[in-house]
Amino acid sequence: MGKVYRRDQPNMKSGRFREFWQCDLDIAGVYTDMIADAEVIKVINDILIKLDIGRFCIKINHRKLLESMFEVSGCNLKMFATICSSIDKLDKEPWENVRKELVDKGVSNESCDVLNEFVLKRDEPLKLLEYLKSSKL
């Protein structure tokens, strides 16, 4: 289990008060077709449903998914770490600020438009899959 900050304790890194729980799962071994990755997501989903915590969002950060998004968006894959550092700010900043930072770093406006479609899309898993399959991006 990761660090937990109570509301009365400042987050030392940012000086803000916040509370969160973090749990990491790792996959050991070699698997094809991302089956193990999908199973981990399903286990997380099942656990959160059984805990009856209300609405929740599972955020997936997978290098191959990010590389694919960047490639489809027309981004230079040599800028992977640079683009990721900007995208990671979306939890704290609006897309407009992140977009400006990406453009300042050399990402084209067209690539930003496509990235926007990927990083801001939220829906149920099967609906997202259908959206991605039918997308003309």
Question: Tell me: the pLDDT tens digits for 78-117?
Answer: 999 999 999 989 888 999 999 999 999 999 999 999 999 8
Separation between Cα atoms, residue 126 and residue 137, nearest integer Å: 18
Mean pLDDT of all residues in the chain? 81
How much is the pLDDT for 136?
Answer: 66
Separation between Cα atoms, residue 47 and residue 34, nearest integer Å: 20
Q: For the full predicted model, state whether its pTM sits above 0.85.
A: no
User: Predicted confidence band at 2 (pLDDT cuts at 50, 70, 90)?
Assistant: very low
- How many helices (DSSP H) and strands (DSSP E) are in the chain? 6, 0
Q: What's the mean pLDDT in 22-33? A: 78
Return the structure tokens found at 3: 């660090």
Separation between Cα atoms, residue 123 and residue 57, nearest integer Å: 9
Per DSSP, which regions of the chain are E strands? none
> Where does 19-62 have alpha helices with state H?
35-51
* Residue 45 · residue 55 · CB < 8 Å: no
pLDDT tops 90 at residue 24 = no
